[in-house]
Amino acid sequence: MAEQKEIFLTVDVEDGINILMRDAFGIAMEPTARVVGNVERLLALFEQRGALATFFILGEVAQFYPGLVKRIAAAGHEVGIHGFSHTLYSRMEAPAIREEIVRTRAILEDLTGREVTAHRAPAFSVGPANPWVLEVIAGAGIRVDSSIMPATAGRYGWPGFPREIIVMELPSGTTLTEVPLTVASLPGVTLPAGGGGYLRYFPLFWTEYCFRRALRNGYAMVYMHPYETDTEPYPSRYYEAAAARGTVARLKSRLVQAGKKSVIPKLAALLDHYRGVPLRQGVPSGPDVGSPRVPMASAFPGYAWQPPSPEAISFPMVSARP
């Protein structure tokens, strides 16, 4: 049998329900225990297939379910940071973003007893409108970041960003290694390819086709959320909140389960073909990495590398999430 090619396996650990309730309906609630069962389903599959992953964990989930973080680390997976509250960085000021990262980092390091220096922004919320967030991320001690979707994808994405692992030389002089998400180009359109709804709704042969192409050019990366494997209906208060919003919200609420039954079988099939590895296995990190450096200020002239003044930041209310 030919040697298996490696793909990066990444999981954004969040409870879909509490974030959806907050972002869609403005209803605050704590993360539910369903995140635990959902992560355990993934841990079991990964163990079965001999795969290791990077789990980017939300601080609030780590705080409510510390045992879950310990189980992830004990199984040999890499632990990274996914912010604390899943508030989009595109709606936050620099000090608040830093606080989310530093606070979560302290919780995760305390639970795992290891240094935690990998990071993914909530919903890939770093782009051309807020490139300065990269300085905040690096300044909080992060060495490997995977927050950039090099495509236009709804309300996130940074079209034109390199599609390879790069060591970014930030205008302040600090460096940060970026592992952009895997995308696939068709004539006239570039689509995310490695996960989320794109794994749920699209047939497996499409993902495999994208991965074959991506691997020819370097690497391929799966990204997913534990709740995407959760086929149980959401709690009734979710459907009630949606129904109170009217027909469109009610219909949308019926779609949240779409494609979820296919996720575990698709992942299992992918992991039969490829060996899943965490980012730390194959991504250069640290200040002395020998990879070519991309001077960001000159690579992206015209971008604002300083955060705007607080008065200049507006906070549009966003109600949808991927």
Q: Which is nearer to Zn ion, 96 or 215 (CB)?
A: 96
Q: With contacts defined by CB under 5 A, name the span among 10-18, 32-40, 139-147, 272-280 that binds Zn ion.
A: 10-18
Q: Which is nearer to Zn ion, 12 or 230 (CB)?
A: 12
* Shortest separation between residue 212's beta carbon and Zn ion, angstroms: 27
59 neighbors 104 (Cβ within 8 angstroms): yes
- Nearest residue to the partner Zn ion, using Cβ: 12
User: Contact letters (x/-) for Zn ion, 113-152, by CB under 5 A?
Assistant: ---------x------------------------------
Q: Which is nearer to Zn ion, 85 or 172 (CB)?
A: 85
* Shortest separation between residue 123's beta carbon and Zn ion, angstroms: 6
Gap between the Cα atoms of 51 and 289, Å rounded? 26
Q: Which is nearer to Zn ion, 12 or 135 (CB)?
A: 12
Q: Which is nearer to Zn ion, 146 or 177 (CB)?
A: 146
Gap between the Cα atoms of 301 and 322, Å rounded? 30
Binder to Zn ion among 9, 10, 11, 12 (CB under 5 A)? 12
Q: How many residues bind Zn ion (CB under 5 A)?
A: 3
User: Contact letters (x/-) for Zn ion, 13-42, by CB under 5 A?
Assistant: -x----------------------------
* Shortest separation between residue 157's beta carbon and Zn ion, angstroms: 15
Q: Which is nearer to Zn ion, 122 or 307 (CB)?
A: 122
The answer to the question of residue 228 lying near Zn ion (CB under 5 A) is: no
Q: What is the binding site for Zn ion (CB under 5 A)?
A: 12, 14, 122
